[in-house]
Amino acid sequence: MNVVVARNARRYFPSSFTMALVVAVFLEIPSVGAVEDKAEYEFANVENLPLQKGLPDPFLMPDCKRVQTLQDWRKQREYIKAMLAHYLYGHMPPRPKKIEIKQVDFKSIYNSKGVEEQYTLTIRRKGKSVTCHFLIVRPSLKKRYPTIIKNDRVSFGASPGRSDLSKSFDPGSEAVKRGYLLCRFHRTDLASDDQEEGRKTGVYPLYPEYDWGALDVWGWGHGVVLDALDQLGMADMSKVVATGHSRGGKAALCAGIYDDRIAITAPNSSGTGGTGSLRYFEQGQNPQTIRHHIGRNEHWFHPRYFQFADKEDHLPFDAHFAKAVIAPRALVNCHARQDYWANPYGTELTHRAAEVVFKWLDAGNRIGLHWRDGKHAQNKEDWTALLDFADKHFFDKKTNRRFDNWNYPDAELPFDWKAPDVAPVK
């Protein structure tokens, strides 16, 4: 397996063998825990998947024909979502129809310009229950606001706006200043991040028939918390952002893939299993490959994902597939140039591949990549960039910030496929 590629890597051209990358047949038998697809698919094991040269073509359909119309893309989008569920995430259940919400704290903050509220939401199923804590920071007037939801590890005794990954900057203050609601939920209430604890706690006992991993649970949690905020009359449902950092960025990306109510998906430095390529890494840097997660973070993913350890070149997808299916909704990825473990090189390559899909769907202005100097964090500049992107997308506000500057402008892109010749008819 060759996964370490220099900045100026050779351009790879798919052979005719690559056209066989999709080994799938339609089935009429519903699978347990399937995402709400109109058709089911059967996907090949790694031994039966061809070697890929370069990044796979997201326009290549299961019948080996390429997408030509918007109707084709809609079917292809559902197929890719099913593929990611099969190999990467597992299958998530429908969100619960009923959740119980309880307010546990309320206080005025930011010189009475904002309020902080703490809530719990409880889900009951099969005689079992799970309770998730979430914290809201919003302007003092109670109404519906543009809403940013972050999956996090919230410390309810901490200062407002603070989290384990945001110790030097209070994003809540900036959010309130701009007229946003910032909500952070305690993701490990829903799925433990302890490898040893496994599936004994959280939502797993409530949904034993589903094969989802922790990233899928946390991504699903975004939707459940959004339901709670809607029920409370606090979220502007047309202006919803999902964000998270590192493993939380992987989960935020998952949330954006499977919940079309999310207008902006904003993963931050999410690396392998997120927005970083699974194949391409900057030469001279230590690559975070699939094998690294074995014995460490296996609970994040579906077990099938680990079939591809040291066999990444057989993967029928890469991170650009996950990004592409978000289109034409918006996607912004904030990343640090020196955060090599999160694979900035592979992040940019797959971003530029996904951009081909966005532009074909006339949504080229809805995909952004923001670079800053520094290492692994979601810091003040990341939060400010996210809010600038949201202001631009939601309110058409002007900004001098660029979301299309490349950190690797001279990199040769490892794909030669292009968008269909005919623009999609809406």
| 64-112 pLDDT tens trace | 999 999 999 999 999 999 999 999 999 999 999 999 999 999 999 999 9
Measured N-to-C along each axis, helices 247-258 and 70-84 cross at an angle, to the nearest 10 degrees, of 140
Residues 6+ apart with CB under 8 A from 158: none
For the chain, the average pLDDT equals 90
Q: Which amino acid is at 120?
A: T
CA torsion sign, 47 to 50 to 55 to 60?
A: negative
Taking only the tens place, the pLDDT of each residue in 212-264 is 999 999 999 999 999 999 999 999 999 999 999 999 999 999 999 999 999 99
> Phi/psi at 178 (nearest 5 deg)?
-90, 0
Is the pLDDT at 379 greater than 80? The verdict is yes
Q: Which domain holds residue 57?
A: 1-426
Taking only the tens place, the pLDDT of each residue in 300-326 is 999 999 999 999 999 999 999 999 999
Sorting pLDDT into bands at 50, 70 and 90, what band is 16? very low
Sorting pLDDT into bands at 50, 70 and 90, what band is 166? very low
Is the pLDDT at 159 greater than 60? The verdict is no
Neighbours of 42 (CB within 10 A): 12
370/404 Cα distance (integer angstroms): 7
CATH of the domain at 315: 3.40.50.1820
Tally of domains in the chain? 1
This prediction has a pTM of 0.90
